[in-house]
Amino acid sequence: MLLTAGLVIASGWFVLGATRIQQAAPLLTAPERYVTDISIAEEVLAVVQQSIRSTLLDGVRNFDWERASRGLSPDFLGRFPKPEDGRTIDDASLVIRRYEATDLGIQRRDQFLESLRLHTASWTSVEQASWKVFTFLLEPSRDRAFAQVHLQLGGPGSAGQRTLVDATVEVLVVEAAPDEWVISRLDLIEGSRVHNPSPPFRDITDAVGFHFNRSDVNGDLRQDIIDTRSSLIDSGLSVVDWDHDGFWDLLVTESMNHSLLFRNDGKGGFERELLPIKDRRLVPSQLVFVDLDGDGLEELVGNRVLYRDGYGSMGIYTRPDGEWVFLPQALEFDNPSDVRRTDAQAMTAADVNGDGLLDLFVAGYETDQSRDPRRFNRVDAHDGADNLLFINQGDLRFTEASDALGITGTQYTYVAQFFDFDGDGDVDLFEGNDYGRNVVWDNTGDGFRAFEDHPLTRHASNTMGITIGDWDNTGAWGVYVSNMYSHAGRRVLRLTESLGDVMRADLEGLAAGNQLFVRKTDGGDGWEDQARLLDVNVAGWAWGCLFYDLDNDGDKEIFVTNGNTSFRDPDAPDY
């Protein structure tokens, strides 16, 4: 402390009389000592979350700034950008601003709230106000905590334009009263504001006649199931050119219920027809539309599994004379006698042996024997279903040869993709697994073997999607993998000290989010994950993904479907 002429300078503060003016408060740092008991930390965090949601977030969501202010301490100090701060990122159609911590000055409570008000001023509503904590370090006194938070605010304007403010912030929260916590400090680490000045999409579902068989009552019943956190993965949609007229048609299925073709009329609408699946009990959750016999007409293959006398089978619909014929045992495989249900997921076709015929891989997810608490492991599960590889013998005859060709294991495979991952001219196979590590199978010419320590398989992932493309127009392939992501996973991992190296690596992988693998140019081991470097690893609770040029500017965006029910607000969309 230095005392000169009545002016005290200490730790970046100027103190003059009773007035304190901060010139440069240091950024927050994590405490060296904190509570490592996960149950205690999570219990306190639940109270903190409720306090912040009921004050700051609800206030922002309802443009109630007095309520929002209750979530901030009277002596609050923060660093948060106004809309015009930061720097502009060039983009043909979006207005993007990037914010860095070094660009920002100190704000008191009213100034911070004014920044939030300016961000939302042109919005007709705040559809998204989320506060996801991925680090929570409770100090030993249990009345203060350091947290790292993913903050998102989003909403539409009056003309349909949309804006999303996305920020990583560090905060100091303090207990103001029993069961009442407030934010004392908040520092932006990095953030962005993305504004689309024109409506990005227009909902034309009703206008084009794309109606599915689901009443409002049926929809409400399904929502009740979803709100119990029970997932419903029983439907699929395929985009195909059904009649080879150059227009994309839609195939829609709901397992053991409906199967519909929406035929593109070439005039901006769809005509609804039934698919050739006569028995509702045979309707699959997914369909593949592919020419398996080389006659120029595609077959329909579904993932619905039937059982008889130690065998399982999936059928093929074909049309040799223009009329659809069902071959119920076309894809037959050995089935253990005690297995009564096999949940098959993705299907993908490729010529794996170079004979000119397309073979078919079916991803096995689980059976009725799966998830036994005595065996099931959420990080490294091997009690799922067999994957199946059907080798095409011609004339729609197939032999199941996964084990014979080296593709073994019973993980929870959700997605699969054939691709030449090692550049040797044949198709390898990516096996994307839930509850464990993925596998890349190397096509050796006479079978398959798992690549050891492949970059795409080095830690556990809850993989839900994969897309492959030349996303940056460099001539090099990129592989984007979408995984379920939970902020809670990162938060709890920080407090877990007794993990082995392998388990910690797997858990860190589960908490890392999505992956973007780019083929290396320096030789190396082929692929490098650049998702964090390019800021495309966090996309919420991710499902399917796709490289696609959404804005027709010549390069590809990454489209990721995401979301899981939270039931925090039944009237708000889930993100």
Note the pLDDT tens digit of each residue in 382-440: 999 999 999 999 999 999 999 999 999 999 999 999 999 999 999 999 999 999 999 99
**pLDDT for residue 524:** 56
25 vs 302, more confident: 302
Instruction: Tell whether the model's pLDDT for residue 193 goes beyond 80.
Output: yes
Distance CA 170, CA 79 (A): 10
pLDDT at residue 465 in the model = 96
Tell me which of 196, 228, 243 is where a domain ends. 196
**Tens digits of per-residue pLDDT, 458-500?**
988 899 999 999 998 988 899 999 998 777 777 877 777 767 7
Terminal alpha carbon distance of the chain: 49
Average pLDDT on 188-200 reads: 91
Residue 287, pLDDT above cutoff 50: yes
Q: What does the pLDDT read at residue 87?
A: 94
Has residue 234 been placed in a domain?
A: no
Whether residue 508 is contained in a domain is answered as yes
Alpha-carbon dihedral sign for residues 116, 564, 198, 480: positive
| Segments forming the whole domain that contains residue 533 | 459-575
Residue 473 CA: distances (Å) to CA of 63, 93, 95, 514, 552 = 43, 19, 23, 21, 14
Q: What is the pLDDT of residue 490?
A: 74
Average confidence (pLDDT) over 188-201: 91
Contacts of 551 (CB under 8 A, 6+ apart): 92, 93, 557
> Which pLDDT does position 281 carry in this prediction?
92
DSSP H or E segment with residue 22: strand 19-22
pLDDT digits (tens, 9 = 90+) for 147-175: 999 999 999 999 889 999 999 999 999 99
Run of H or E residues at 443: strand 439-443
Q: Which residue has the tokens 């207005």?
A: 95
d(CA 118, CA 111): 11
The answer as to whether 269 is a domain residue is no
**160: CATH:** 3.10.450.50
Does a structural domain hold residue 103?
A: yes
Q: pLDDT value at position 349?
A: 98
> How does the average pLDDT of the chain come out, rounded?
88
Report the distance separating Cα 418 and Cα 228, nearest Å: 36
Select from 176, 196, 216 the last residue of a domain: 196
Output the 3-class SS for 40-69: HHHHHHHHHHHHHHHHHHHHHHCCCHHHHH
pLDDT in tens, 307-360: 888 899 999 999 998 899 999 999 999 988 777 788 899 999 999 999 999 999
Q: pLDDT exceeding 70 applies to what percent of the chain?
A: 91
How many CB atoms lie under 10 A from the CB of residue 162? Answer: 18
Query: Is 99 inside a domain boundary?
Result: yes
pLDDT digits (tens, 9 = 90+) for 1-24: 333 333 232 333 333 333 333 445
Is pLDDT larger for residue 214 or for residue 350? 350
Instruction: Please enumerate in sequence order all residues whose Cβ is within 8 A of that of 385, keeping only pairs 6 or more positions apart, or say none.
Output: 342, 343, 344, 364, 365, 366, 367, 370, 410, 412, 413
pLDDT digits (tens, 9 = 90+) for 53-81: 999 999 999 999 999 999 999 999 999 99
d(CA 560, CA 555): 16
Residue 514 has pLDDT above 80, yes or no: yes
What pLDDT is recorded for position 202? 85
Which 8-state DSSP code applies to residue 507? Answer: H
In a domain, 272, yes or no: no
Q: State mean pLDDT over 225-242.
A: 78
Query: Which of the four pLDDT bands, split at 50, 70 and 90, describes residue 530?
Result: very high
pLDDT in tens, 86-106: 999 987 788 999 999 888 999
- Whether 473 is covered by a domain: the verdict is yes
Question: pLDDT tier at 565 (50, 70, 90 boundaries)?
Answer: low
Domain total of the chain: 2
pLDDT band at 229 (very low <50, low <70, confident <90, very high): low
Last residue of a domain, one of 196, 229, 252: 196
In a domain, 549, yes or no: yes
- Output the CA angle 332-334-336, nearest 5 degrees: 140
